[in-house]
């Protein structure tokens, strides 16, 4: 990954908050300038981003939650890379 390594523990960027939005019927990432609607997979991943769990631990937990999903580790890594590039996480 260009911005994150597997041993790093990403956290939501300061001022960002993940929450369920009933009107949108989905999880959203709120920040001072707006809101990002998330799909279910993105919400599952960001729900584990807490500054304590490493990238490897996040992947392991999701692989346990969703056994048999091929390529889950690459998908999680790709999403975290995008989230990092968009400054949602640090």
Domain boundaries, the chain: 17-85
Which pLDDT score is estimated for 9? 97
pLDDT in tens, 54-84: 999 999 999 999 999 999 999 999 999 999 9
28 alpha-carbon distance from chain centroid: 11
pLDDT at 2 over 70: no
17-85 carries CATH number 1.10.10.1150: yes
Which pLDDT score is estimated for 4? 84
Which pLDDT score is estimated for 46? 98
Q: Where are the alpha helices (DSSP H) in 1-90?
A: 40-46, 55-65, 72-85
pLDDT at 44 over 50: yes
Q: Tell me how far apart the alpha carbons of residues 5 and 16 are, in angstroms, rounded to a whole number.
A: 21
Sequence-distant contacts of 64-72: CB under 8 A, at least 24 apart: none
pLDDT in tens, 4-26: 899 999 999 999 999 999 999 99
């Amino acid at each position: 990954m260009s911005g994150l390594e597997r041993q790093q523990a990403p956290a939501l960027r300061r001022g960002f908050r993940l929450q369920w939005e009933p009107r949108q019927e989905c999880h959203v990432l709120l920040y001072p300038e707006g809101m990002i609607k998330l799909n279910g997979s993105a919400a599952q991943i960001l729900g584990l981003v807490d500054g304590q769990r490493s990238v490897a631990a996040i992947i392991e937990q999701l692989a346990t939650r969703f056994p048999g999903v091929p390529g889950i580790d690459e998908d999680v890594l790709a999403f975290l890379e995008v989230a990092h590039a968009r400054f949602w996480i640090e």
